[in-house]
Chains A and B, each alone.
Chain A
Amino acid sequence: MMGPLLVSIYVFVLAAFLGFELITKVPPTLHTPLMSGANALSGITVLGALSLVTVADPSVGVVLGTLALVLATINVVGGFLVTDRMLSRFGGGGDR
């Protein structure tokens, strides 16, 4: 049977193929928003930060984790907002 690490490696390789497949023919108009949306998704690291700062006593580790949590949350919240703002400006006219 597969150990957890091996499962993770399977997941990694398949996700890489999936990523390549998802973004094949993007119109240049969408490059900036797509980049910004993908960037917001990379803020998924917020989950890692959440799982680390589960104790109350302040310590170096907790402070580092909280700083990570703040930056990742800025990335996620700001990233999705800015993407939506860009897209709301140009989808409006209708479709071609």
Chain B
Amino acid sequence: MTGDLIALAALASIALFVVGLKRLSKIRTARSGNLLIASGMLLAVVITLVEQGLVDYRWIAGGLAVGAVVGVLIVVRAKATQMPEIVARFNGFGGAASALVALALFWLEVVEAGADDPAAVVLGMASAITVSLSILIGVTTFTGSILAELKLRGTVKGQPRIPLRGILLTLLLAGGLAAGLGGLFALADPLTASALVAGLVAASLVAGVVLVLPIGGADMPVVISLLNSLSGLAAAATGFALENNLLIIAGTMVGAAGLILTQIMCRAMNRSLANVIVGGYGGDATGGEGAEAYESVVSSDAEEAAMVLESAQSVIIVPGYGIAAARGQHAVKELAAALGRRGVEVRFAIHPVAGRMPGHMNVVLAEAEVPYEQLFEMSEINQDFAHTDAVIVVGANDVVNPAANTQPGSPIAGMPILEVGRARRVFVIKRSLAPGYAGIKNDLFEADNTVMLFGDAKGVLDSLTAEVAEGAPAG
């Protein structure tokens, strides 16, 4: 009877996950969706504790308390610009947790129980296979995610080529899995079996590094999404090993949703997933095409630019990663407010992949409390550039590069861009003429209606704001 009640409660928590995930994919309902999933999780934890009945709770209570405190601390101490890094880190923890559960299961049931049979006999065949899979996927996700975080933060730079990477990766994954399965199926001696399982762990650790290391910053969002999907699959594999359907359902939903999300992001950048994994988004273009000389570039200063901006009726601001890097989100908000006070209509145009993660710009601007009504997605605003007096491009490059439309051989060919060149005047705030992630020249900078404002995004924005505020009061 209690068993039935527990099963029904588990069903309720699955229902909360499904409804929550659905709501999380729409702006208006997203916050409540997140809350529903969280309460589903709480319910699932309570069910599990009730199901176990009277056990010794010391380790459980300690683990939950430490985990909760650390989790809260990480979030409280993070800045909005660090969100992608934090997501990557949690992702890695999730993968590691799944692998550790599988390892703990193996150790408790086989090694510590002093079994005389191979693990596959003790645990059952299906569990033995999924224990290996859970370790493989979970550990690969862990090192891959931690490396992704370090790359986002800039601690690990560049995208070094790994010779024969595809073959190496296959060898690591297949070899690791073979060692793990060998240890679990063939060996009755727990010591040798554990050594082989340790081999699986080691191979997976290296596999995560080999997978992520050569992938460049622009593709990191896609990689994190993919790793996210993998962490779900690791949880699902753990579910098979433990014969727990709740884990299988939630893990698989995350795995499938993550895969779809990865696909959607790839489409926004007009890239295929295979292309991303193979890596090298203009990776070796540093000395090549990117160094192409610019001719007839016009640059100006804040004073002149401010005069044009003051007399404009409408201005569109295009933020890019440079704004996050320079922590210029408050400065850009001030400029928008100063222009607004002079009767200028100010809007922000957000490219789907501006920044280091899709939606990253929205998070960054939201931190500076830029009014939500001023933010427009690319599809909503692209046709308006032609009727706009001035555009300010701040720290963005590839997302406004006309080469996407005009040069079929370019690495970004076909990527939808913000067509800022159609506006009457374009101001580009940028530290130098250095190429962006794609490593290619931007013809926009040479256009007749483009004026470059060289400098750090925050500094230039601050002086623009000061000039606009100083000017004669608007009529």
Contacts A39-B87, A39-B91, A84-B35: A33 and B30 contacting too (C-beta < 8 A)? Answer: yes
Contacts A15-B252, A82-B78: A23 and B260 contacting too (C-beta < 8 A)? Answer: yes
What's the least CB distance linking B372 to chain A, in Å?
3
Residues of B contacting A41 in the complex (Cβ-Cβ under 8 angstroms): 17, 21, 37, 41, 232, 250, 253-254
Q: Which of A17, A22, A44, A65 contacts B100 (CB 8 A)?
A: A65
Residues of A contacting B105 in the complex (Cβ-Cβ under 8 angstroms): 48, 52
Q: Are the C-beta atoms of A78 and B49 separated by less than 8 Å?
A: no
Among residues of B, the one whose C-beta sits closest to the C-beta of A59 is B112
Q: Is B384 located at the chain interface by the 8 A CB criterion?
A: no
Binds A, one of B179-187, B208-216, B290-298, B360-368: B360-368
Among residues of A, the one whose C-beta sits closest to the C-beta of B70 is A74
B interface: dominant SS: helix
Q: Are the C-beta atoms of B75 and A78 separated by less than 8 Å?
A: yes
* CB under 8 Å from chain A, chain B span 24-67: 24-28, 30-31, 33-35, 37-38, 41, 44-45, 48-49, 52, 55-56, 58-60, 62-64, 66-67
Q: Are the C-beta atoms of B352 and A8 separated by less than 8 Å?
A: no
What's the least CB distance linking B27 to chain A, in Å?
6
Q: Are the C-beta atoms of B68 and A73 separated by less than 8 Å?
A: yes
Q: How far is the CA of A18 from the CA of B97 in the complex (A)?
A: 24
Residues of A contacting B112 in the complex (Cβ-Cβ under 8 angstroms): 59-61
Interface residues of B, CB < 8 Å — how many? 112
Residues of B contacting A37 in the complex (Cβ-Cβ under 8 angstroms): 20-21, 24, 33-34, 37
Q: How far is the CA of A61 from the CA of B80 in the complex (A)?
A: 38
Q: Is B358 located at the chain interface by the 8 A CB criterion?
A: yes
Q: Is B471 located at the chain interface by the 8 A CB criterion?
A: no
Q: Is B111 located at the chain interface by the 8 A CB criterion?
A: yes
Q: How far is the CA of A72 from the CA of B240 in the complex (A)?
A: 18
Contacts A62-B59, A72-B94, A93-B373: A22 and B257 contacting too (C-beta < 8 A)? Answer: yes
Q: How far is the CA of A69 from the CA of B70 in the complex (A)?
A: 12
Q: Are the C-beta atoms of B359 and A31 separated by less than 8 Å?
A: yes
Residues of B contacting A49 in the complex (Cβ-Cβ under 8 angstroms): 63, 97, 100-101, 104
Q: Is B255 located at the chain interface by the 8 A CB criterion?
A: yes
* CB under 8 Å from chain A, chain B span 76-106: 78, 80, 83-84, 86-87, 90-91, 93-94, 96-98, 100-101, 103-105
A interface: dominant SS: helix
Residues of A contacting B248 in the complex (Cβ-Cβ under 8 angstroms): 8, 11-12, 15
Q: Which of B101, B231, B362 has the most CB of A within 10 A?
A: B101
Q: Which of A23, A47, A67 contacts B45 (CB 8 A)?
A: A47
Residues of A contacting B239 in the complex (Cβ-Cβ under 8 angstroms): 8, 48
Q: Are the C-beta atoms of B25 and A39 separated by less than 8 Å?
A: no
Q: Are the C-beta atoms of A91 and B359 separated by less than 8 Å?
A: no
Binds A, one of B148-156, B261-269, B419-427: B261-269
Q: Are the C-beta atoms of A32 and B358 separated by less than 8 Å?
A: yes
What's the least CB distance linking B382 to chain A, in Å?
14
Contacts A30-B24, A48-B244, A80-B38: A65 and B31 contacting too (C-beta < 8 A)? Answer: no
Residues of A contacting B91 in the complex (Cβ-Cβ under 8 angstroms): 39, 42, 75
Q: Are the C-beta atoms of B251 and A64 separated by less than 8 Å?
A: no
Among residues of A, the one whose C-beta sits closest to the C-beta of B360 is A32
Q: Are the C-beta atoms of A18 and B78 separated by less than 8 Å?
A: no
Q: Are the C-beta atoms of B28 and A91 separated by less than 8 Å?
A: yes
Q: Is B139 located at the chain interface by the 8 A CB criterion?
A: no
Among residues of A, the one whose C-beta sits closest to the C-beta of B361 is A29
Q: Is B224 located at the chain interface by the 8 A CB criterion?
A: yes
| 8 closest cross-chain pairs (CB), A and B | A73-B67, A93-B372, A19-B256, A69-B63, A78-B71, A68-B100, A77-B71, A31-B358
10 A-B pairs whose Cβ atoms sit less than 8 Å apart in the complex = A11-B245, A26-B261, A30-B359, A39-B90, A40-B41, A43-B93, A46-B41, A46-B97, A64-B107, A75-B90
11 further A-B pairs in the complex, CB-CB below 8 A; given A50-B52, A82-B83, A88-B31:
A15-B249, A32-B84, A32-B358, A34-B30, A38-B254, A45-B234, A45-B251, A46-B97, A48-B101, A64-B104, A81-B72
